[in-house]
Amino acid sequence: MRLFVAEIDLRHPRIAVRVCPGGPDPDGPGEWEATLAAPTRVAAREGLELVVNGDFFSVRREMQGQTTLPAYRPDVWANAVGPAVSDGRVWSVSKDRRPCLVVRKGNRVSIEIVARPPEDALQVIAGNVMLVEDGRPVTHENRDRHPRTVVGLDEGGRKLVILVVDGRRPGVSIGMTYAELAAEMIRLGCDRALNLDGGGSSVMAVRESSGNGMAILNQPSDGRERPVVNVLGIDADR
């Protein structure tokens, strides 16, 4: 099993938690909200020190003659499944309530279950299920193992934990179940935790020590990073 963990001190005055869309809205007030982009490209554009993939998403399928083009390509038109806010701008809402990481002024971070972002939210990113509530695991019938990306908070909201688990690589890392993820997040000190998009989307990258470019730490199951609709990033005022 290969796990990658980032622990973020939310009390540090130079740390900011950000949610960034992959690319621009391709059709204005139309159906689609953003375009897909590789997380490392978003990190380079936004000056992030650390980046992971974000919400689940749907894409517009395109044809070339009689052939359906691959869905996960840069610049493909896409929608986030859950609520999304970037730097105070609401760009996605949901029909259903979903677990969300919510960032407010003063680096106050919480995990809430909402359909529409709170009015005072500066950043919001959504997942599909809660894994930990009040320091206890949330039970799920699903026992599938996959690559995973998870975020959690300690009880006082002072520490943000980001976990990426490799999977679908026999002999390297087989992935984790929801129950295993919950146990690991509790071991890491989380009081609440939620599951973000996973599978081929799961990636964690950090800025290289030279300051030039991003280094991918894990081994994405696609063999390369997958373009996604949004990312969760850490901005450090250097």
Residue pLDDT, tens place only, 68-94: 777 899 999 999 999 999 999 999 999
User: Chain-wide mean pLDDT for the chain?
Assistant: 95
Question: Mean pLDDT across the stretch 18-28?
Answer: 97
- Phi, psi values for residue 126, rounded to 5°: -115, 160
Query: Tell me, what's the pLDDT at 48?
Result: 97
| pLDDT tens-digit map of 191-226 | 999 999 999 999 999 999 887 799 999 999 999 999
pTM tops 0.85: yes
Distances (CA, A) of 177 to 47, 56, 172, 210: 33, 17, 16, 36
Question: Mean pLDDT across the stretch 133-160?
Answer: 97
Distance (Å, whole) CA 14 – CA 11: 9
